[in-house]
Homo-oligomer: A and B are copies of this chain.
Amino acid sequence: AIGGSASRAENLACSAVGERSCPHPLTDVEANQVLGEHERMVRARFAAIVPVLQRIAREQRAEGFVEAARRIAQAELGIEPPTELLERAWLGGLDMRALYGQVVLKTVTQLANEIHQVQAAGSGATEPEATSFLLDCGYHAVDISPCSDGRLKGLVRYVLRLPEAAIRWRRAYAGALFDVEASVQRWMEAELQRYREHHPVPPDAGTRFLKIAVYHWSSSDPAHQGCAAHGSNQRRAAAAALDRLRELRQAVENRFCCGASVDLLLIGVDTDTDAIKVHVPDGRGELSLHRAIDNLELYRQTLDVDADEARMAVYRAIEESCSRQGWGAAEGPPHDGMRRLVATLLINNLSQIEYVCRTWGGRYPDIGHDERFISVGDGFEEFQLRNLAYFAHLQTLEEGADDMDVGIRIFEKLHASEGRPIVVAVHFRYDSRVPGSRERTILRCKRVRSAIRSRYAHLEQRGLLVCGMTVQDTKERSPIEAVEPTDFPVLGQDGDVR
């Protein structure tokens, strides 16, 4: 699942314009360094798992094995290994598949809690700061739905460089085909808060609700490494996401009176370079597949100018996109706030293009799928990193089966075919202010896990599916709590009514 080494030689972003132009004048060098350290740290933790387990496996016949294995796992992986599995090794040999799965799941939990500590120690915009940037752009709430694809997992933190607290909802669906009804619910929630609590601003402040959909493609291998949910067809992926956005707007406008509406934004990501394409709304808020700014092009055009001129070029590109004629012609430019938002996204993304340029020579070595686990449910806010996890947002497998199937297909090729189990982390958040919410959320975990094990029984039976469960309070930086599985089947396979 790694891009060919031949294509790696050519730097997609800046090789064409000569020697000295890199780094780009608008690069946030400090942020790139912090993000780079974070990425290296997390990747190293996951990369260590297989070699360490191989070492443990070699020692399973030795005396004092359990203690030795624990020491190794603690020292090398920073986790407490599942002792029961180790203790059972003398009987039928060490169950490496189960051990691998448990260790991946424990690494996820452990890392998330470490990330909380880093966050608590400072850095990162606070919620009021983050909210005020978006309020400046005229938005009181932002709901973003990327594709479930793991290569978009770093979207908010890396690709768009938005303060994480600013995005109120992040819900991934295969092919970015988000649930319209669920988005309407979130719109209602945000509206109600404006009216009842005047939070973040009262309803007469003239702010809007913004829904962003994010599709993706692969510039180096467009026919194979694009969006699996749309047969790697970039145009189809973009068109489907745009249709969904329009449906949402129609739904809100038709169901609610008094001028209810939402602002829409469509963004594409080239998962080889992390360069974005922004479909700029026109004066009426309308989008077009034909009216978009290609940020890789903008990057190349502005490599040799100074920072001020580069910034001007970004604004000029926005103006220009709205004065083109023919296909994708706009009815006037977008409102000021949207223009500011689009400019910020483009400028932020220039730093990310530079990041990929510096770290990977302009193109990721893993242009294809290389996710470590499937994240199911509410997803971990803690992991905003490319190709780390495939994320299927769902409340029930019954409704989310399509999204999950796409993920399982990817992981069958990536892991199961190599004998590694597919690791699924079922994670839901509860609201500790609501009585019974934690218990009901734990039940939901068990229900979804049971449905997954039953739907993918062909993997489960061969030990190729390891499914863990965790819950977490909705309060920011709450600890992740493991849920112990009670292995009763919930969805009947044998036809019994339970």
Q: CA of A498 to CA of B191 in the docked complex: distance in angstroms? A: 38
Q: CA of A493 to CA of B493 in the docked complex: distance in angstroms? A: 7
Of A1-9, A214-222, A427-435, which binds chain B? A427-435
On chain B, the residues within 8 Å of A258 by CB distance are 196-197
Q: Which of A180, A247, A495 gathers the greatest number of chain B CB atoms within 10 Å?
A: A495
CB–CB A490/B401 < 8 A: yes
| Closest beta carbon of chain B to A253's beta carbon, Å | 9
Chain A residues 160-209 with CB under 8 Å of chain B are: 180-181, 184-185, 188-189, 191-192, 195-197, 203
| Closest beta carbon of chain B to A13's beta carbon, Å | 37
CB–CB A436/B196 < 8 A: no
Tell whether A255 pairs with B433 under 8 Å between CB atoms, given A181-B440, A408-B497, A495-B456: yes
Chain A residues 426-458 with CB under 8 Å of chain B are: 431, 433-437, 440, 447-448, 451, 454-458
Verify if A84 is at the interface (C-beta below 8 Å from B): no
On chain B, the residues within 8 Å of A197 by CB distance are 256-258
Interface size of A in residues (CB-CB distance below 8 Å): 56
| Closest beta carbon of chain B to A176's beta carbon, Å | 15
Verify if A358 is at the interface (C-beta below 8 Å from B): no
Verify if A405 is at the interface (C-beta below 8 Å from B): yes
Verify if A82 is at the interface (C-beta below 8 Å from B): no
CB–CB B491/A491 < 8 A: yes
Q: CA of A435 to CA of B498 in the docked complex: distance in angstroms? A: 38
CB–CB A254/B192 < 8 A: no
CB–CB B492/A457 < 8 A: yes
Q: A197-B257, A455-B491 are in contact. List 8 more A-B contacts (CB 8 A).
A: A188-B188, A191-B192, A191-B195, A197-B258, A247-B436, A395-B399, A456-B492, A458-B496
Question: 21 A-B contacts, Cβ less than 8 Å apart?
Answer: A180-B434, A180-B437, A181-B437, A185-B185, A191-B192, A191-B195, A196-B257, A196-B258, A197-B256, A197-B257, A197-B258, A254-B435, A255-B433, A396-B396, A398-B398, A398-B451, A401-B490, A408-B497, A455-B492, A456-B495, A458-B495
